[in-house]
Amino acid sequence: MSTSPAPIIIDTDPGVDDFIAILMALRSPDLDLLGLTTVGGNTSLGNATLNALRTLRAGGRPDITVASGAAEGRTRPFIFADHFHGETGLAMELPLPDMEALETSAVTWLAQTLTNRSDSITLLPVGPVTNIARLIEEHPEAANRIGRMIVMGGAVDCPGNATDCAEFNTWNDPEAAEIVFGFGIETTLIGLDVCNQVAFTRENIREGAGPGRLMMDAWFAEHPDSKEFHLCDPLAVAVAIDPTLVQTESISVAVDTSDGPERGNTSRCTGRGADGPPIDVALEVDVERAVRIISALAL
Ligand code: BDR
Ligand code: CA
């Protein structure tokens, strides 16, 4: 019996791994990508929005909606990752898009789409969750209509990548992450606990011939000393396609919003807050199967 593709929206800050993730969503017969909302993070909001449009063009779907969102975090400007993703946010130059982003903001478009559609939408935030926190504050009824969120963020039982303890997306807006994880939407958290295990290497991209392969070649050329590229955002899309790829534990997650060295750290809530809504934190992943799914759709 065939089922219809699941409607999804990706909230993104492209970003090389965001590019791969979006290509997967475009190519998967199991997913129906309704639109992209953008946020600053890996790069400025302006670059992220252009890159979202460029990615849709590269994937042959320039008709898909892009709505632009937050240029800064709730309490601080974003700190970009040009050293990793490149000055424009992508490792390779892509043609300028011939489409434009909506005039409507990301938060308004999300609220309208969630309200107007009768089916259950899965939301995949793969950048700082600033737009989603605003949606919750400004349109809580619409946010309550989200079927499930698959969030790329956090590092619960492992070290961080932005600092010793914090993962980049939660570190860039921990105040937003605290609101989003505490709101009670059914959530799967795809953090570094699993993302660090799933990687492209120069060897396992050899079979590809499409835009994903070209992007990875460009990234490895820019990073001659790197042996692997962690597939963080693509793993979130792979889990939207096949939730059995990861094993999860239901945990209340605390986000550190202090000004200290722990800022952005995500940890198991003990003490105060331990009665907050639990989310499904991915702690184990079927690495081989995940790499196979990502390669087949993105390279
Ligand atoms: C996350 O941060 C960004 O650099 C990637 O795009 C991914 O969303 C990994 O920590
Ligand atoms: Ca990202």
- Chain segment 228-260, per-residue pLDDT in tens: 999 999 999 999 999 999 999 999 999 999 999
Best residue among 13, 79, 131 to mutate for probing ligand 1, ranked by most atoms within 8 Å of CB: 13
Percent of the chain with pLDDT over 70: 98
Ligand 1 centre from 125 Cα, in Å? 11
**Does the pLDDT of residue 285 top 70, yes or no?**
yes
Q: Are strands 253-255 and 6-12 parallel, antiparallel or unpaired?
A: unpaired
Q: At what angle do helices 287-298 and 232-241 cross, to 10 degrees?
A: 90
Instruction: Tell me the CA–centroid distance for residue 126 and ligand 2, in Å.
Output: 5
* Whether residue 15 has a cis bond before it, omega within 30° of 0: yes
Mean pLDDT value of segment 132-137: 98
Q: Say if residues 219 and 229 touch (Cβ distance below 8 Å).
A: yes
Ligand 1 within 6 A of 15 CB?
yes
pLDDT score at 124: 98
The Cα–Cα gap between 27 and 194 comes to 23
Beta bridge partners of 279: 251
- 0.75 exceeded by the pTM? yes
**Ligand 1 mean position, distance from CA 211 (Å):** 20
- Read off the pLDDT of each residue in 182-197 and give the average, rounded to a whole number: 97
User: For residue 273, is pLDDT > 70?
Assistant: no
Q: Are 89 and 15 in contact (CB under 8 A)?
A: yes
Q: Is the per-residue pLDDT at 102 higher than 70?
A: yes
Judge if the beta carbon of residue 56 lies within 6 A of ligand 1.
Answer: no
Ligand 1, atom 10, lies closest to the CA of 168
201 has a pLDDT exceeding 80: yes
Q: Above 90 in pLDDT, residue 274? A: no
Stretch 275-279: mean pLDDT, rounded?
86
**Can you tell me the distance from the alpha carbon of 14 to that of 211, in angstroms, rounded to the nearest whole number?**
15
CB of residue 231 inside a 6 A radius of ligand 1: no
Question: What is the share, in percent, of the chain residues with pLDDT greater than 90?
Answer: 92
Residue 97: band (very low, low, confident or very high) from pLDDT cuts 50, 70, 90: confident
Residue nearest to atom 4 of ligand 1 (CA): 42
Question: What is the best residue among 192, 232, 265 to mutate for testing ligand 1's pocket, by most ligand atoms within 8 Å of CB?
Answer: 232
Mean pLDDT within 261-287:
88
Percent composition of the chain: helix, strand, coil (DSSP 3-state, to 5): 35, 20, 45
- Count of CB atoms within 10 A of residue 144's CB? 12
CATH 3.90.245.10 fits 6-298, yes or no: yes
Each residue's pLDDT tens digit, 13-50? 999 999 999 999 999 999 999 999 999 999 999 999 99
Q: Is the pLDDT of residue 120 over 90?
A: yes
Residues 219, 19: Cα–Cα separation, whole Å: 12
- The Cα–Cα gap between 65 and 35 comes to 5
Locate the ligand 1 atom nearest the alpha carbon of residue 192 and give its number. Answer: 10
pLDDT at 34: 98
Three-class DSSP category at 151:
strand
Q: How far is the CA of 299 from the centre of ligand 1 (A)?
A: 19
161 lines ligand 1 (CB under 6 A): yes
CA-CA distance, 95 to 97, in Å (whole number)?
A: 6
pLDDT at 3: 83
**Between 1 and 294, whose confidence is greater?**
294
Q: Is the CB of 168 under 6 A from ligand 1?
A: yes
